[in-house]
Amino acid sequence: MSWTNNLEQFAQIIKNGGVVIFPTDTVWGLGCSVERVDAIKKLYTIKQREPNKPTAILIGSSEQAEKYGVFNEQALSLTKVHWPGALTVVVQATKAVPLEIQGEQKTVGIRHPNFKFVEELTQLVGAGIVAGSANFSGGASPFKKEELDPELIKLIDAVYDGECGGQLPSTVVDCTVTPLKVMREGAIKL
């Protein structure tokens, strides 16, 4: 495991199937490429996450959003107002989304963070980043570098040395149902 602040090198580790820890606009994230099912399985093992529990994708552009999700009117109107930002929308998944991270109804959570680093990272990786908070399942979400669990750090491939935006975790909204269902109240109040 290594700490780095070389974005190109960090993106290459992700492309090669690495599982990494990185800062976001909210909390520290644990992630990997959405296009590497081997890495997704490794992420679930490391995080001790239940295999049937969906995980969101962080994206850095509207092109990436459309690659992974089918956005209905509800989702489009929310993302128009709150993206980039701390809002995760749950939408129907496209065929580009691995089954390992989908919800029971073939859905996926997608978020476009308001964080230049994540936008640049997804562009360099050329794919969305499957990401949850950088903690073992059930643990506290780390807002500061010193809150990262040393035991978790030992298990991953790299940590990007930076600082988080420090907002509350994202608000999660299921846009596949009418009326919309807030699944987690977070940084954005709806």
**Bond preceding residue 84 cis, omega within 30 of 0:** yes
Its pTM surpasses 0.75: yes
Q: What is the mean pLDDT of residues 170-189?
A: 95
DSSP secondary structure code for residue 135 in this structure: S
Containing structural domain, residue 179: 2-184
Give the number of domains in the chain: 1
CATH number at residue 63: 3.90.870.10
Q: Report the 10 Å Cβ neighbour count for 124.
A: 17
Q: Cβ atoms within 10 A of the Cβ of 172, count?
A: 20
Q: Would you say residue 189 lies in a domain?
A: no
Task: Identify whether 32 is part of a domain.
Answer: yes
pLDDT in tens, 130-162: 999 999 999 999 999 999 999 999 999 999 999
Q: What letter would DSSP give residue 86?
A: S
What mean pLDDT is predicted for residues 123-129? Answer: 98
Segment 27-82, tens digit of pLDDT: 999 999 999 999 999 999 999 999 889 999 999 999 999 999 999 999 999 999 99
Which residues are bridge partners to 182 per DSSP? 173
Assess if residue 190 is contained within a domain: no
